[in-house]
A and B are shown apart, each in its own frame.
Chain A
Amino acid sequence: ELKVEQNPLFLSMQEGKNYTIYCNYSTTSDRLYWYRQDPGKSLESLFVLLSNGAVKQEGRLMASLDTKARLSTLHITAAVHDLSATYFCAVFITGNQFYFGTGTSLTVIP
């Protein structure tokens, strides 16, 4: 059974601090996605990681992919309140299927 596990599930952090969200998956895939969801809203694409060693950065967020370890990370630098949201990773597998992690609910405290 394919598993996509994120940790932590809940994260409360102070503004200005750094933290990393982890996404582990149990099957072979070289394609990993990160999404953001604000409360009551839809999902918005953040990053697409298409190969081993891929690193993408946008503002205070940086995502990386290690396909050999089956691990992706989403690093938050100097958090600000606007980053408060739920973050999902998703793995793409053969057959055009995406499997999502359970999400990490991030709250940034002033």
Chain B
Amino acid sequence: NAGVTQTPKFQVLKTGQSMTLQCAQDMNHNSMYWYRQDPGMGLRLIYYSASEGTTDKGEVPNGYNVSRLNKREFSLRLESAAPSQTSVYFCASSEAPGLRYASTDTQYFGPGTRLTVL
């Protein structure tokens, strides 16, 4: 049981290049999330997918696109990378945050992708 996996772990891009960050979970969770973490700013939600087939914008979606490929996989794409997108990116999943008393109602995080845009 690998939990949440992310690839790649590290990436360096030049301004204007594109790339896709991959995320997969094997816990049969309904919801998946992409966050970015910057020093002194905590985690900020970029996009999320409440269930397979749906995606929604979070707090900081500009410059990103997502695809919920199936229940397991949720990818994040940077079409034209900018230095302001230098960050650590975390993918997370959760079972059912909409259920009021779900006993396993928490997010499980992947190991992160450290992205540098030059």
Contacts and interface: CB of A to CB of B under 8 A. Distances in A.
Given A88-B42, A101-B42, A42 B31 contact: no
Contacts of A106: none
Contacts of B109: 42-44
B106 interface: yes
Contacts of A9: 40
Contacts of A22: none
A33 B111 contact: no
B90 A43 contact: yes
Overall SS of chain A's interface:
strand
B45 A97 contact: yes
Interface residues of A, number: 23
A103 B43 CA distance: 9
B105 A96 contact: no
Contacts of A45: 106-108
Interface string A76-110: 00000000000010101001111111110000000
B105 A99 contact: no
Contacts of B48: 96-97
A50 interface: yes
A108 B5 CA distance: 31
B106 A42 contact: no
Interface stretch (B18-26, B62-70, B76-84, B96-104): B96-104
B50 A102 contact: no
B108 A100 contact: no
Contacts of A48: 105-106
Contact of B100 (A50, A98, A102): A50
Contacts of A33: 106-107
Given A42-B112, A101-B42, 11 more contacts: A33-B107, A42-B90, A43-B109, A50-B101, A88-B42, A90-B107, A96-B31, A97-B45, A99-B45, A102-B42, A103-B42
19 contacts: A4-B42, A9-B40, A31-B97, A33-B106, A42-B90, A42-B109, A43-B90, A43-B109, A48-B105, A50-B101, A88-B43, A90-B43, A96-B31, A96-B56, A97-B45, A97-B48, A98-B45, A101-B42, A102-B40
